[in-house]
Structure 1
Amino acid sequence: MVRDFLQQHPTVKMPALSFLILISVVLFSEAVGTPISKGDVYCAMAFSMKVEFLNLRMMKKSAVQHAS
Structure 2
Amino acid sequence: MSIFQGAGHVLWSSAACGVIMGQNCCSSEAAFQLLALASSHRNAKARVVAETILNTLPRGTPAAHFAD
Larger fraction in helix: 1
Q: Greater CA radius of gyration, 1 or 2?
A: 1
TM-score normalised by structure 1 residue count: 0.38
TM-score normalised by structure 2 residue count: 0.38
